[in-house]
Structures are given as structure tokens and as C-alpha cells.
């Protein structure tokens, strides 16, 4: 469960991230790098595909938002993964709600 999220900072399971982060059910990857820096593309999702989630929640940020390409959304949906896209604060709420029912991964931009 995500403990808290604000611009530039996320806390998950007692650990803190200050960079773009992938949140898995039991850990987070704080070294996630979005290659294009402004848009999530299919190539940015390799680790997500390996984890085989049912749902991916995407947090686009706060004051310097990013986007997720149609190709990335299609790549997720083609694998049967539900995709929810919101600003990061709302996405954290959705992650916490959905992750208790389905295998969920969160992609969070923190700026």
C-alpha cells in the first residue's frame, strides 16, 4: 500500500522514492527510467509485462506531467491488462483501492 505521495516524494512500505517509480505488490523500483522523459512508451514497460499484472495504474505527475502513448496503452491492453491513468495523487488512491482485489502495478511520475 502506498503510504503517502506528494510532489517529488512517495512512501511505500516504509521506503521513500524521490524519482519516477514502479510500485509492485511487495516492492518498488525507484530506478525506473522513462526513455523519452515525457512519454511512457512500450519499451518502458518491459518489467511491467514480466510481472503479469491484472491492472496498471499510471500516475502522470503533479506540476510537470508526462503522458502515456496510445501504443503503450494498446500494448498493455493486448495482454489483457486494465489501464487506469490519472494525476499521481488520484492514481495512488486508485492503486491502494484496487491492489487489495487484483494484482496491480503502479507507474508514478513524481514531478
State pLDDT tens for residues 14-54: 999 999 999 999 999 999 989 888 999 999 999 999 999 99
Residue 59 belongs to a domain with what CATH number? 3.40.1230.10
* Nearest CA-CA partner of 65 in 47, 89, 31: 89
The count of structural domains within the chain is 1
User: Mean of the pLDDT values across residues 58-84?
Assistant: 97
Give the chain's end-to-end CA distance (angstroms, integer). Answer: 20
Q: Residue 15 belongs to what domain range?
A: 2-108
> How high is the pLDDT of residue 88?
96
- pLDDT cut 70: percent of the chain above it: 100
> How high is the pLDDT of residue 108?
97
* Single pTM value for the model: 0.95
Amino acid at each position: 500500500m502506498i503510504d503517502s505521495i506528494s510532489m517529488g516524494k512517495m512512501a511505500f512500505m516504509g521506503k521513500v522514492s524521490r524519482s519516477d517509480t514502479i510500485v509492485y505488490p511487495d516492492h518498488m523500483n525507484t530506478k525506473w527510467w522513462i526513455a523519452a522523459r515525457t512519454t511512457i512508451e512500450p519499451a518502458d514497460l518491459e518489467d511491467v509485462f514480466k510481472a503479469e499484472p491484472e491492472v496498471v495504474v499510471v500516475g502522470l505527475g503533479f506540476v510537470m506531467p508526462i503522458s502515456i502513448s496510445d501504443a503503450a496503452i494498446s500494448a498493455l491492453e493486448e495482454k489483457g491488462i486494465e489501464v487506469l491513468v490519472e494525476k499521481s495523487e488520484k492514481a495512488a488512491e486508485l492503486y491502494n483501492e484496487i491492489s487489495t482485489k487484483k494484482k496491480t502495478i503502479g507507474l508514478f511520475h513524481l514531478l
